[in-house]
């Protein structure tokens, strides 16, 4: 049975010309999705224009789901969720499934409803949902954990932020780790910069940029410098051999003692089999993706307006280290 939605608000009526003119004027002052459009949503709600209110907030929250002004407006808007009973599914499960396919405004409401339920049951359900095969469910679960308690499920969130195949899910997990405000979690994500595969290294760099903690700066620069010098884990080399050995008499060496001549055999060993020599090579494309991810993370954390060029960022870091009191520029 599908989940239904009930909106507890005044029915929208034909707006007076002056009210509609005011809304149009607020719209002209900013583009859709900009934070200023929260005021358009506020005016629409006051006028009873619910569809405009939700559409404007959806655009703003899609751009920044953690914008305080937008979240505050959702919290006090006369909206409510109505979930029909479904046999075999708990309330927590139905809220997770609803939030996973909801637009940003109602996703915020679903997370708020989850936060009001008994904590043990909610956290147990979110722990299961974080391993769901659905990327939408995993993304909403990371989002809901940010609203409820960003410090729980830390191990799973670190793994998701680096290894999840869905970019949106990795981003939500990184934002939740950001709100946990725990430097040890930053270092655990940064540990993935030493993995053999360039893809999770790039994911880790993007996650560190989303978290935005200054402790990641030297680790990102160190990884970038290693890439520039060619000393990246992709050059690891190893070999294995499968051989069989057989002894044989190669020659005889005469030995003379007390007038007698004796042939002393010279034994040698013949080896046959297969030797495999392997070197793991990271593709140039993946290395370039990793370089851009590292530079973008440095840009987000530092606030410095530099192009995504490794040489510029390495020079910036050297200048920053030589003048510790200078600002990031």
Mean pLDDT of the chain: 85
Domain boundary pick from 34, 61, 76: 76
Average pLDDT per consecutive 10 residues, the chain (329 residues; last block may be shorter): 37 53 75 89 87 92 95 90 80 94 95 94 95 97 96 95 97 97 96 92 96 96 88 59 81 73 78 75 73 95 93 93 58
Per-residue confidence (pLDDT) for residue 235, from 0 to 100: 53
Domain boundary pick from 56, 76, 96: 76
- 288 within a domain of the structure (yes/no): no
CA gyration radius, the chain: 31
- 25 within a domain of the structure (yes/no): yes
C-alpha angle 250-251-255 in degrees, rounded to nearest 5: 145
- 137 within a domain of the structure (yes/no): no
pTM passes above 0.85: no
Which of 210, 217, 187 lies closest to 321, judged by CA? 217
Per-residue confidence (pLDDT) for residue 128, from 0 to 100: 95
Per-residue confidence (pLDDT) for residue 264, from 0 to 100: 75
Tokens of 1: 């049975």
Tell me how far apart the alpha carbons of residues 140 and 307 are, in angstroms, rounded to a whole number. Answer: 33
C-alpha angle 48-50-52 in degrees, rounded to nearest 5: 110
Outline where DSSP puts E strands in the chain: 237-257, 260-279
Tokens of 254: 């005469």
Tell me how far apart the alpha carbons of residues 245 and 247 are, in angstroms, rounded to a whole number. Answer: 7
* Residue range 246-305, pLDDT digits in tens: 887 777 777 776 667 777 787 888 888 887 876 655 556 778 899 999 999 999 999 999
- 241 within a domain of the structure (yes/no): yes
Structural domain count of the chain: 2
Report the chain's terminal Cα–Cα distance, integer Å.
Answer: 56
Per-residue confidence (pLDDT) for residue 2, from 0 to 100: 40
Per-residue confidence (pLDDT) for residue 130, from 0 to 100: 95
- 124 within a domain of the structure (yes/no): no
Q: Are 205 and 192 in contact (CB under 8 A)?
A: no
Per-residue confidence (pLDDT) for residue 230, from 0 to 100: 67
Tell me how far apart the alpha carbons of residues 115 and 163 are, in angstroms, rounded to a whole number. Answer: 27
Residue 43 sits in which domain range? 17-76
Tell me how far apart the alpha carbons of residues 280 and 3 are, in angstroms, rounded to a whole number. Answer: 49
- 175 within a domain of the structure (yes/no): no
- 295 within a domain of the structure (yes/no): no
- 68 within a domain of the structure (yes/no): yes
Tokens of 242: 């499968």
* Residue range 202-230, pLDDT digits in tens: 999 999 999 999 999 999 999 999 988 86
Domain boundary pick from 26, 55, 76: 76
């Amino acid at each position: 049975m599908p989940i239904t939605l009930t909106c507890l608000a005044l029915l929208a009526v034909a707006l007076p010309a002056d009210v509609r003119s005011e809304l149009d004027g607020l719209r002209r002052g900013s583009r859709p999705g900009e934070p200023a459009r929260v005021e358009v949503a506020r005016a629409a709600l006051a006028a009873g224009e619910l569809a405009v209110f939700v559409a404007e907030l959806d655009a703003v929250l899609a751009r920044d789901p953690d914008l305080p002004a937008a979240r505050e407006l959702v919290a006090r808007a006369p909206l409510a969720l109505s979930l029909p009973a479904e046999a075999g599914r708990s309330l927590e499960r139905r809220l997770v499934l609803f939030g996973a396919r909801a637009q940003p405004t109602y996703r915020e409401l679903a997370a708020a409803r989850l936060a009001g339920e008994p904590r043990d049951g909610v956290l147990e359900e979110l722990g299961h949902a974080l391993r769901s095969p659905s990327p939408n469910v995993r993304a909403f679960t990371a989002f809901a954990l940010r609203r409820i308690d960003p410090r729980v499920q830390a191990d799973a969130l670190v793994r998701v932020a680096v290894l999840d195949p869905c970019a949106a899910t990795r981003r939500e997990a990184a934002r939740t780790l950001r709100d946990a405000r725990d430097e040890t979690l930053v270092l655990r994500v940064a540990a993935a910069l030493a993995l053999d595969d360039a893809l999770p290294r790039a994911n880790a760099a993007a996650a560190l940029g989303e978290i935005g903690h200054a402790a990641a700066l030297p680790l990102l620069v160190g990884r970038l410098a290693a890439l520039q010098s060619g000393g990246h884990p992709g050059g690891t080399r190893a070999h294995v051999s499968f051989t069989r050995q057989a002894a044989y008499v190669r020659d005889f060496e005469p030995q003379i003692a007390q007038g007698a001549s004796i042939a002393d055999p010279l034994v040698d060993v013949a080896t046959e089999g297969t030797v495999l020599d392997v070197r793991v090579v990271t593709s140039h494309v993946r290395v370039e993706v990793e370089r851009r991810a590292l530079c973008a993370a440095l840009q987000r954390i530092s606030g410095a307006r530099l192009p995504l060029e490794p040489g510029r960022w390495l020079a910036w870091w050297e200048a920053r280290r030589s003048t510790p009191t200078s600002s990031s520029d």
